[in-house]
Structures are given as C-alpha cells and as structure tokens.
Amino acid sequence: MKRKVIITVFVITCLLSLNAFALNGLVDTDGKLEKVETSKYMGDTLWVLVAAFLVFFMQAGFAMVESGFTRAKNAVNILMKNLMDFSMGSVAYWAIGFAIMFGAGNAFMGTSGWFVPSESLAEGAATDTSVFSALEWSSVPTYAAWLFQLVFAATAATIVSGAMAERTQFKSYLIYSIFITGIIYPVVGHWIWGGGWLADVGVSDFAGSTVVHSTGGWLALTGAIVLGPRIGKYDGDGNPRPIAGHNLPLAALGVFILWLGWFGFNPGSQMGADAGPISHIAITTNLAAATGAILAMITAWLILGKPDAGMALNGALAGLVAITAGCAFVSPVSAAIIGALGGIVVVLSVLLFEKLRIDDPVGAISVHGTCGALGTILLGFFHEIGDTALGVFFGGGFGFLWAQIVGVVAVFVWCLVTGFILFYGIKAATGLRVTEEEEQAGLDYEEHGASAYPDFNVSSMR
C-alpha cells in the first residue's frame, strides 16, 4: 500500500517537475526571455529613432536661424544651402562617412562598411558587430544608428554655412558639404567615438561638443578667413559695423527648434531608452540652455547697454553646445554653471572675432567652435560621476582634464589644416566667393533667379 502511494506521488511529482521544466524551457528560455530582450530592443530603437527625428528637425532650426540673422536678399540662397547640405550629406555619409567613422579600421579612420551593408529586416537584426564593432555597446539596429549618426554629420556641415553666409558661391557650397560629411567630420568622429586614437587617450565627449560642434565651428572659422568679410562689414577705419538680420521672428523660431532638437541630440546619444540617464541628460541640457540665455542677455546688457535679442538667442545655443560634452556626467548645478559660462563666453567671443576682422554673420564660430571647446574642457573640471552615482566633483582628476585638452587641441588642428586645404582648394579650382556685383545685388537673384519676398518692398541697399 505504502509503496504504491509513494510511487503514485512520485510519478505525479515527476510529471509536475517535467511540466515545470518544460514551461521553463519553452516559455522562459526560448519565448519570454527573448520577448523581454525584444522589449528593451524595441524601446531603445524607438528612442533612438525619435531622437534622430528631432535632430533632423534641427536642420529647419539652422535654416531659420541662419536666414533670420542675415539679409533678405540672401535668404533663398541660405535656405537652399540648408536643404542641399542635408541632402548631399545624406548621400555622402551613406557612401563613405559612416564607414570612416564607425567601420572597423585603424586608429585614424574606419576602412570598412562602405554604403552601410544591407541587413535583414527581421526583428532581432541588431548592429552588425563584425563591421561596426565601435557601435556594439548600443543594441539598436545598424540602420537606426546610421540615421542617428547621419543627422549629426549633417549638423556639423550646416554649422559651417552660417559663418560663410551672404558671400559664398552656391556651387562651392555643394562641394564642401560632401567633403565635410563624407570625410573631415567622420575622421574626427572615428577618433573619439569610433575607437580611434583620441578614444585611447581617454577623451570624453558624450554627445559631441567637440566631435560635432567644434568641428563645425573650426571649419567655419577657416571658411570665414578664406572668404574674408562681407562688403560693408568694416568701415574705412576697419571698425566693424552691425549688419542686422532681416527676420528676428524666424531666428527666434529657429532657436526654439534647435532647443527642441537638442532633446534628441543629447538624450538620444545614450542610444538607448535607459530611463534614469535620459531623464538626467534632458534636465542638464535644459538647465544649461536656460542659464546660457540668461547670462548672455546679462553680459550683452552690461557691455552693449541693451538686452540684445541676438545675443540672448545665441546664448541659449551656447549653453546647449557647452553642455553637450558632459550632459550625462555632471549634476544639474554643474550644468547650470557650464551653461552660464557658455552664455558669457559666447558674447565675448562674438565681439572678439568681430574685432579680429573675421566676419561671421550668425555667430557660428563662437557658438559652436568656442563653446564646444569650452564645454569639453569644463567637463574636465565638472565630471562628477563614477559608475552609477553623482557626487564626486573633479571626478576624473588631472589625467582626465589633460585628455580633454588634448582632444580639443587635436580636433582644432585637424579642422584648421583640412579646412584651409578644402577652402583654398575650392577657391583655386572653381572659386569660393561670388563677385562684388552679385554680393551687392544679393545672392538670391544672381544665384537662384528668385526673391524670397517678391510681394514686399525689400531694401537691398544694406
């Protein structure tokens, strides 16, 4: 009797155990675990794509800022530039840029992954880690990473056009867009984000104060130098004269769009939907923009006597550029300080470049070049995060600060050298600047046979 009971119970136990095991084997290991991974994969991809869309929209922001801050007679030209640099950049970055930046290669550049090899559409097709091992830390599909990185590359190219506005040939603009998005920017990106030599040095640039903004800003500097100032920017004694932008509402709209886009730029650079970090980054980004705008307004008020709108708008951008390197690594207090310093420095930088007879119609060199470098170095001081928690000020020590300085200088040198080669090369080959008559008449009529505002009496006598 007893034995029979024991055996019966035993058999039931076996069945239950097998059942439990089967459930585990079937549902857990093969089914649910995969589904849970899929959820994370889904969330990460969703986040990266939404962020990429926001960064794409920054093209509209740049278009509005750059046309708003310049004269009506050149507005069509600037809008066309913005449209075409993104279009040309989309193709160039596809063909070679992404491969140079993230493809397997050497310390200088990637040498594989041209035209971004096709991948399966099947769910679960994550980053191809054999070619793009530099991106294997992010779980999103290669195509999502490509789109996100593409809109960054286009940002770097767009920055340049602002400083070169109102006097550059349309044709030469098309040429340099390809070189910047296809080669010059991706090489910098490879150095810091693609496993290149500056990554080995230990340079930290979370979302691209240096990689994107300084690169754009320093290339803009070389372009502005090679071009020379606009006619009428300096009087006979060499003193700068203000050339006000023709449409402040457009410029303000552009700054709001850029601020919005930065919520993709910085939190998106996490390249995953990690709730804590992306919330933290969104906060530091916003605070730096706010203090940048406030401090730039105050600085301008003190120096120029009025709360200048252009300076305040550029101050918000300066704060955003400055926090971009460290948005994930500093506390809100530090972010507020970094943004504020960006706001002060951008006003001084604009006035300095103006004195140096480097004519930058929209302040792109100061906003992106100067404040990008500033933010990267400030991260050396304000880095507060160990592995998981805030709290340690100057957390990286002198070695980290030194690495940041090396990164800033290296990118500065690279951009100056390649920028001068590029712009002098274009100047020699096809000409870089329009004729004096074209510049006086406005580029819209001469280059595009159009007027931005044909129903209005637009003064072209400025």
Q: Which residues contact 109 (CB under 8 A, 6 or more apart)?
A: 100, 186, 187, 190, 196
Q: Which residues contact 12 (CB under 8 A, 6 or more apart)?
A: none
Q: 245, 70 in Cβ contact below 8 A? A: yes
Nearer to its own copies, 257 or 344 (CB): 257
For residue 406, the minimal CB distance to its own copies (Å) is 26
Q: Which residues contact 59 (CB under 8 A, 6 or more apart)?
A: 82, 86, 151, 154, 155, 158
If you ran DSSP here, which 8-state letter would residue 134 be given? Answer: G
For residue 409, the minimal CB distance to its own copies (Å) is 29
For residue 443, the minimal CB distance to its own copies (Å) is 11
For residue 18, the minimal CB distance to its own copies (Å) is 6
Which two three-digit tokens encode residue 269? 């650079």
Please name the residue that has the structure tokens 């986040």. 47
Nearer to its own copies, 18 or 429 (CB): 18
Which two three-digit tokens encode residue 378? 């400030």
Q: Which value, in Å, is the radius of gyration of the alpha carbons in the chain? A: 26
Nearer to its own copies, 117 or 425 (CB): 117
Q: Which amino acid is at 1?
A: M
Nearer to its own copies, 62 or 191 (CB): 62
Which two three-digit tokens encode residue 335? 């972010």
For residue 460, the minimal CB distance to its own copies (Å) is 8
For residue 140, the minimal CB distance to its own copies (Å) is 7
Nearer to its own copies, 14 or 413 (CB): 14
For residue 71, the minimal CB distance to its own copies (Å) is 6
Nearer to its own copies, 1 or 275 (CB): 275
Nearer to its own copies, 228 or 438 (CB): 438
Q: 287, 105 in Cβ contact below 8 A? A: no
Distances, alpha carbon 240 to alpha carbons 73, 158, 304, 459, in Å? 21, 25, 14, 21
Closest CA to 292 of 371, 215, 220, 353: 371
Nearer to its own copies, 65 or 408 (CB): 65
How many CA atoms does the CB half-sphere of 181 hold within 13 Å? 28
Nearer to its own copies, 65 or 410 (CB): 65
The 3-class secondary structure across 413-441, one letter per residue, is HHHHHHHHHHHHHHHHHCCCECCHHHHHH
Nearer to its own copies, 17 or 239 (CB): 17
For residue 405, the minimal CB distance to its own copies (Å) is 25
Burial pattern 72-107, b for ≥16 Cβ within 10 A else e, equals bbbbbbbbbbbeebbebbbebbbebbbbbbbbbbee
Q: In whole angstroms, give the CA distance from residue 407 to residue 209.
A: 11
Nearer to its own copies, 123 or 200 (CB): 123
Q: 198, 407 in Cβ contact below 8 A? A: yes
For residue 414, the minimal CB distance to its own copies (Å) is 27
Nearer to its own copies, 252 or 358 (CB): 252
One DSSP character per residue, 198-266 reads: HHHHT---SS-IIIIIIHHHHHHHHHHHHH-PPTTSB-TTS-B-----S-HHHHHHHHHHHHHHHHHHH
